[in-house]
Amino acid sequence: METLSEEEYREKSKVFYTSTLNTWYSIRLEKDKQLLTLSITAIGFLVTLARTSGILSNLLKFFFSFALICFLLTVVLVLYSYNENADYLKKLLLSESTEFQECWIDLLERFANYIFMLAIFFVILIGLKYTLWNG
Helix then strand then coil, in percent of the chain rounded to 5, is: 85, 0, 15
Radius of gyration of the chain (CA): 22
CB-CB contact of 100 with 21 (8 Å)? no
Q: In sequence order, which residues have a C-beta less than 8 Å from that of residue 65 and are 6 or more positions away? A: none
Q: 10: exposed, middle or buried (C-beta count within 10 Å: 0-12, 13-18, 19+)?
A: exposed
Q: What is the pLDDT of residues 26-43, one digit of tens each?
A: 777 788 899 999 999 999
pLDDT at position 2 = 62
pLDDT at position 134 = 62
- Model pTM greater than 0.85? no
DSSP state of 55: -
pLDDT at position 135 = 46
Please tell me the distance from the alpha carbon of residue 73 to that of residue 39, in angstroms, as a whole number: 9
How many C-beta atoms lie closer than 10 Å to residue 62's C-beta? Answer: 14
Per-domain residue ranges for the chain? 7-131
**Parts of the chain with a pLDDT under 50:** 135
Q: In sequence order, which residues have a C-beta less than 8 Å from that of residue 82 and are 6 or more positions away? A: 29, 32
Look over the chain and give the mean of its residue pLDDT values, rounded to a whole number. 85
